[in-house]
Structure formats: structure tokens, C-alpha cells
Amino acid sequence: MTKFVFVTGGVVSSLGKGIASASLAAILESRGLKVTLIKLDPYINVDPGTMSPFQHGEVFVTDDGAETDLDLGHYERFIETRMKKTNNFTTGKIYQSVLEKERRGDYLGKTVQVIPHVTNEIQEFIQRGAGIGTPDAVDVAIVEIGGTVGDIESLPFLEAVRQMSLRMGPNNAAFVHLTYLPWIAAAGELKTKPTQHTVQKLREIGIQADALLCRADRRIPEEERAKISLFTNVPEWGVISMWDVDTIYKVPRMLHEQGLDGLICDKLRLNTPPTSLKRWDDLVYETEHPQGEVTIAMVGKYVDLSDSYKSVNEALRHAGMKNHVRVKIEHLDSETIESADAAQKLAKYDAILVPGGFGVRGVEGKIATAQYAREHKVPYLGICLGMQVATIEYARHVAGLAHANSTEFDPATPHPVIALITEWKDADGTIKKRDENSDLGGTMRLGAQSSDVAPTTLAHSIYGDVVTERHRHRYEANVNYLDQLRKAGLVISALTQREHLTEIVELPQSVHPWFIGVQFHPEFKSTPWNGHPLFNAFIKAAVEHQKQTAKA
């Protein structure tokens, strides 16, 4: 039978609830349990796909093509279970489903209300996320509820999980609450009052926490732990200190050493002994003992919020660990880069990455960046939009197609080398169609798709014969220009089997040591243990470039 752990948050947001949930999942997984994580987001958007990265950070894409919260990225990087559409849902999605049922007449004449209809719907979605009734059913599903206790928006979610735990009986659900203890310098004290209040708020709605994860900039002294326990009705061993650490890989061991997994297993009557957390210790060791450092320029638009490129940042760090170097990432605003001064801005980097993005702002700076990387033989990795700008750059400056562009940025361009595709096959095999007037939400090419990789290319040395990666984009390299680009020397190293959509472009290794653009998002599949073949190769190329320039 599947058991549940519900993770709620209090006091303030951004305390690292996603990392805490993923870490708990990881230590439960290390006990041999099959675990999954489900994220519940209280906002009304049906999914985060239409939200700006400034609002919400990165949109994480799953194999099955769901546009999800970036916490699902942490989940996939921390545990073995792969995330699916059913692992993340929002208030908007719940209401969409309730309203569809209402229109169909499923409620048989009843008045449709938050309790029980919305709360029942939430419970059904949670059960679906845990794979209940399918061969994928897990031993433990950790359900992270977004937002903080006391928000109007999260109330139906909290009510739903309270009902669910009651329905399941005493040893089938546990509650973990993440809270915050501010350090008041003037008093020289960590304050427990906000924690007392947030736990009270939780108890008001009928939820008694089994464990409190107390975030603070330091360890919680014993005296404060005893006080928190007394005021919150949580046994002292359930008051767990979660202090600031320099790497997230330290969190699983931190929680395990204070007995969090033991406590949860006791509560849920799961009789599985702990095993080694060596794989986490190895990651910490690798992070703390690099044998060199490379600096990567990441040229994008959303530079002020590093969460916008969360998975790319992580993938670069993983690749650093595989190459035993620390990867320093400098985010450059593409709006500040022009052809004339690209060299001055970019010369000091060991490699250049242009990540995904939407909209015309800053695009010319990205094109100038790709041109600089190509002409100066600096390792270049273009992801999604990064591939598109590299193609535009090549068309303009090598293939002689002046003013070539993407129709996303210039609908009247004489040479639409990147254009909207109107029909394609999606991750689930269905044929999808769209035009300029289609909805923006959920109408991109999404999810994992496979293509054949051309032999003897750089891509082939990285991926082998087939590449399967996740997509999230609306525009594509225009098939009608491929011959011209090829004749001008651009290598098209992978095409989708059915539509012949361009998946990878590269420069021949005879003219450039490492220049590659990919239409997909490889960053979503990188893990701390294996890294990702493309990022591993990119960082290796950065190390090589550093050596070459040092010699020169």
C-alpha cells in the first residue's frame, strides 16, 4: 500500500522546500523504498508554461511533455523515479477538471463546492501522481504543497490532504512542516516565535506535524529545540535543524543524521533499515576538491534570476564534477552585447553557452555572441534558441543570406531560416497542428523525441546513433533552407525521422574545435552522478580551450 508524506511550508517562501522534499525522498530511496514526489502549486495558471521565468523561474519539461514547476527538476536529480505529467498540478488544473466534469453532468445535479468536489479532485490527482492502481504504484509518495500555510490559495490543498490522512488511518500518512528561525543579531538569538505561530496555523486546520524542518542560517541549539517541541507538540526528535550549506548535496546526510528518515519510517510502519549515503558523500567530495576551474559565459535575457536557468546551471555543475573542475557561470545580459564589442565582453571566457529563450529582446546580442564564438573558435553550446541564433548567424554571415531571421523576431524577414512549424508528432505519438493564432499555452513541441544522428559528426561522438531529448519550442529550422546552409558548410547532424526537423547543427571539426547547437533541452536529463554526455563534452572542450589559450 502506498503511504504518503505531506510537506508544507511556513513563515516565508524560498526556504528550499523542494530540496528538503527531494532530500527526504533520496534518503527513503536509499532504504530500498520506491519513492515518488508530487508538487501541488496553488496558483490559477493551468501549468507554468505561460509564465515568465521572472515570475516563476525555469519551466521544467518531463519526458511525457508536461511543462512543470522547477522543483520537479530537483526531484529528478535527487531520485531514480522519473517525473510525469501527473507529478505536478495546480489549482488551475484542478478547477479545469472539476469544471469539465460539471459541464459533462458528472455531478448529477449537485451544487459543486470546494468541499467536497474540489478537495476530492485534489485527492484523486494525488493518488494518480502516486501511481495508485497501476504497476507504477510507489511505496512512499512525498507530496510537496507550494506556498505557505496561511495563504488563501493553499487552503483547499491543505484541507484535501488533512481529509486524505484521516481517510487513510494513523500510520499511512505523515506531515513534515518546513519553518524558519530568524537570527536576530541585536539579541544574539534565533527566534522561535514565527515557528510557534505557523505550527499553530497548521493545527487550526487540523494538521499536526510529525516533524519540523527548522531552516536557519545556523544549527538550532538544544535549548531552542526543546522550546519548539514544547510549544508545537512535536516530539523533540522531530525538531530537525536545517542550516545553510554550501552545496545541496549535503542536505540528505544532514537530515538522515538527525533521524528524519527513521522517524518517517517509524510513523509509517515501514520496516526498512538505512543503507549507506556514500553516493551523496562522493558528490560532496567531488564538489569540494576540484582540480581546476573553468568560467562559462551564459548569455541570456533572464540574467537577474538565476532560477530561470536552473537545470542548465545544474547540468554545467554536474559536468564540472565529471571533469573534476569547478564551473563558474557568469550570466551576461544579451542586450548589452553588440557585434562591435563582443570580443571585449567575451574574450575572457573558456566557453560560451546561449540557453533557451522567447521573444525578440536581446536576440541580436545572442547572434553576435554566436558569431564571436564561431569566428574565435571558442567552444559554443546553443540550446534551443541558442541553436536558432547560431543558425541565423551562419545564414547571415556565411551563407550570404543578409537579414536572415526567425519569423518569431521578424515576421517579414526575406530569409526565414527559422519559422513556425504547423504540424508535428508529439511525445505521445499524436499529430499536433497549430498556426499563428493558436493558444500560447501547451501548444509547443513538447517532451521527449528521438532522431538519428549522422555518423562521423561531433554529435555522433557524443550521442551515438540516436538522440532522445526533451523539447519546448514553437519555431524550427526551416527545411527549405537546409541545402543552402549545408552548401555553405553548416553540418546538420540530426533530423527527426518523420518531419525532418533539425535537431542538431554543428561546425565541422576541421574548422572549429567544438561548436554545436541543439533544438532540444539536454539540461533536463542531467544527473549529479552521470552528468550529461553533451554537457560533459562541452566542459571538456572548455578545459581544452583554456589549456590552448594558456599555451598561446
In the block, cell 561522438 appears at: 461
Residue 469 contacts ligand GLN per CB under 6 A: no
Residue 93 contacts ligand GLN per CB under 6 A: no
Contact region with ligand GLN (CB under 6 A), list: 79-87, 147-155, 318-326, 466-474:
466-474
Residue 11 C-beta-side C-alpha neighbours within 13 Å? 23
**CB 35 → ligand GLN: shortest distance, Å?**
30
Whether 521 is a known active-site residue: answer: yes
In the block, cell 542560517 appears at: 217
What is the spatial distance between Cα 233 and Cα 358, in angstroms, rounded to a whole number?
49
How many of the chain's residues bind ligand GLN (CB under 6 A)? Answer: 10
- CA angle (453, 456, 461) in 5-degree steps: 70
**CB 246 → ligand GLN: shortest distance, Å?**
31
In the block, cell 455531478 appears at: 107
Are 404 and 488 spatial neighbours (Cβ–Cβ below 8 Å)? no
Residue 470 contacts ligand GLN per CB under 6 A: no
Nearer to ligand GLN, 51 or 155 (CB): 51
Residue 356 contacts ligand GLN per CB under 6 A: yes
In the block, cell 521544467 appears at: 60
Sign of CA dihedral 10, 15, 19, 23: negative
Contact region with ligand GLN (CB under 6 A), list: 13-21, 118-126, 331-339, 356-364:
356-364
Please state the residue numbers annotated as binding site for Mg(2+): 71, 144
Nearer to ligand GLN, 351 or 385 (CB): 385
**CB 475 → ligand GLN: shortest distance, Å?**
3
Are 198 and 149 spatial neighbours (Cβ–Cβ below 8 Å)? yes
Contact region with ligand GLN (CB under 6 A), list: 323-331, 355-363, 365-373, 541-549:
355-363
What is the spatial distance between Cα 78 and Cα 287, in angstroms, rounded to a whole number?
16
Nearer to ligand GLN, 473 or 525 (CB): 473
Catalytic position from the list 56, 331, 473, 521: 521
Contact region with ligand GLN (CB under 6 A), list: 36-44, 136-144, 248-256, 470-478:
470-478
Residue 310 contacts ligand GLN per CB under 6 A: no
Integer angstrom CA distances of residue 434 from 15, 67, 83, 437, 448: 40, 18, 27, 8, 19
Please state the residue numbers annotated as binding site for CTP: 13, 151-153, 191-196, 227
**CB 444 → ligand GLN: shortest distance, Å?**
6
Residue 472 contacts ligand GLN per CB under 6 A: yes
Contact region with ligand GLN (CB under 6 A), list: 32-40, 169-177, 220-228, 351-359:
351-359
Catalytic position from the list 58, 224, 318, 384: 384
**CB 221 → ligand GLN: shortest distance, Å?**
47
Q: Which amino acid is at 102?
A: E
Other Cβ atoms closer than 10 A to 376 = 15
Three-state SS for 144-164 is EECCCCCCCCCHHHHHHHHHH
Are 448 and 469 spatial neighbours (Cβ–Cβ below 8 Å)? yes
Nearer to ligand GLN, 10 or 357 (CB): 357
Residue 162 contacts ligand GLN per CB under 6 A: no
Please state the residue numbers annotated as binding site for UTP: 13, 191-196, 227
What is the spatial distance between Cα 394 and Cα 388, in angstroms, rounded to a whole number?
10
Nearer to ligand GLN, 3 or 432 (CB): 432
Q: Looking at 4, 180, 249, 358, which residue binds ligand GLN (CB under 6 A)?
A: 358
Q: List all residues 6 or more positions away from 428 whose beta carbon is below 8 Å from its beta carbon.
A: 64, 65, 447
Question: In the chain, what is the greatest distance between 2 CA atoms, to the nearest angstrom?
Answer: 80
Residue 473 contacts ligand GLN per CB under 6 A: yes
Q: Looking at 43, 475, 515, 524, which residue binds ligand GLN (CB under 6 A)?
A: 475
**CB 552 → ligand GLN: shortest distance, Å?**
34
**CB 159 → ligand GLN: shortest distance, Å?**
37
Contact pattern for ligand GLN over residues 403 through 442, marking x by CB under 6 A:
-----x----------------------------------
Dihedral through CA 529, CA 535, CA 541, CA 542, nearest 10? Answer: -90
Whether 324 is a known active-site residue: answer: no
Catalytic position from the list 159, 256, 523, 545: 523
Sign of CA dihedral 246, 252, 258, 260: positive
In this structure, the strands spanning 351-354 and 415-420 are unpaired
Q: List all residues 6 or more positions away from 287 whose beta carbon is below 8 Å from its beta carbon.
A: 247, 249, 317, 321
Residue 384 contacts ligand GLN per CB under 6 A: yes
Q: Looking at 149, 181, 327, 385, which residue binds ligand GLN (CB under 6 A)?
A: 385
What backbone torsions phi and psi does residue 18 show, to the nearest 5 degrees? Answer: -65, -45
Whether 384 is a known active-site residue: answer: yes
The one-character DSSP state at 220 is: P
Integer angstrom CA distances of residue 260 from 160, 252, 373, 513: 24, 10, 48, 49
Q: Which amino acid is at 313?
A: N
Active site amino acids: 384, 521, 523
The residues of the shown chain that bind ligand GLN, judged by CB under 6 A, are 356-358, 384-385, 408, 472-475
